Structure 1
Amino acid sequence: MDCLFCKIIAGEIPSNALYEDEKMYAFYDIDPQSPVHFLVIPKKHIASVDDLEEEDAQLVGEIFLKIKELAKKENLDNGYRVITNIGEDGGQTVPHLHFHVLGGRSLQWPPG
């Protein structure tokens, strides 16, 4: 499989790891958009939210609980944003489900 994130999980491409277990991997973004910017990805290859199956519900729930824990570890006590992009028009550039976690500054919407 020629998936960038699968290669990162396999250790074929280096990353700055934040967390890893048998189900997920978290690492810092190489082009951070805020003082804290990391990604959390399932180790199971799922292309996007549109490709989730019923059996993935528990995994996604566990990812969100880990996001909460990692945000606390990163001192994002004033808040943070979790983003996932779906498809080309949604801005998804890597076809592997991933959640961006951004914080460390005000992230008011719309940006400006």
Structure 2
Amino acid sequence: MSGCVFCGIVAGDTPAFRVTDEADGVAFLDTRPVFKGHVLVVPRPHLVTLNDLPASALPGYFALVRRVALAVESGLGAGGTFVAMNNKVSQSVPHLHTHVVPRTKGDGLRGFFWPRTRYADDAEAREHATRIAAALSG
């Protein structure tokens, strides 16, 4: 869809720190992560909410989300992950996306208050994306 930043990332027209690019979706680092290594997983077609995702696409899409969650844990040495999705309310980009946030005990995340951080530079962001991508293919 014209003007959709996530469609631009899927098409390769908008730069992103990609973790994986597969038939079922594309995963890339959030530019304003809750914690470093925060990944967004999006389906390839422009869909706004989970309700728009065809039932036939659910197994592949959520298998990808699951694999990314496992890769975030193993690739970053996280204690776990927080996996979430907004539909319409608080959905900053109107393209279906699932957040996969690395968690550690005592990290300060409480409920749905999401403080944001930044990568020091592109090299640090690239390093996180590379580690998660390596865990996905391992």
TM-score normalised by L of structure 1: 0.81
- 1:23-102 aligned at under 5 Å gives the runs 23-71=24-72, 72-76=74-78, 78-87=79-88, 90-102=89-101
Distance in 2 (CA, whole Å) between partners of 1:110 and 1:47 is: 21
Distance in 1 (CA, whole Å) between partners of 2:35 and 2:10 is: 23
**Identity across aligned pairs (percent)?**
28
TM-score normalised by L of structure 2: 0.68
Which amino acid counterpart does residue 102 of structure 1 have in structure 2? V
1 or 2, which has the higher strand percentage?
1
Instruction: Describe the shift of the 1:53–1:22 C-alpha distance in structure 2 as closer, same or farther (beyond 3 A).
Output: closer
Instruction: Describe the shift of the 1:48–1:70 C-alpha distance in structure 2 as closer, same or farther (beyond 3 A).
Output: same
Task: Tell me the matched-pair count.
Answer: 109
User: Unmatched 5+ residue regions in structure 2?
Assistant: 115-138
1 or 2, which has the higher helix percentage?
2
Task: Determine if the alignment matches structure 1 residue 13 to structure 2 residue 22.
Answer: no
Instruction: Describe the shift of the 1:102–1:53 C-alpha distance in structure 2 as closer, same or farther (beyond 3 A).
Output: same
What CA RMSD, in Å, does the superposition of the two structures yield over aligned residues?
2.0
Instruction: Describe the shift of the 1:45–1:66 C-alpha distance in structure 2 as closer, same or farther (beyond 3 A).
Output: farther
Answer yes or no: is the 8 Å Cα contact 1:42–1:63 preserved in 2. Answer: no
User: Unmatched 5+ residue regions in structure 1?
Assistant: none
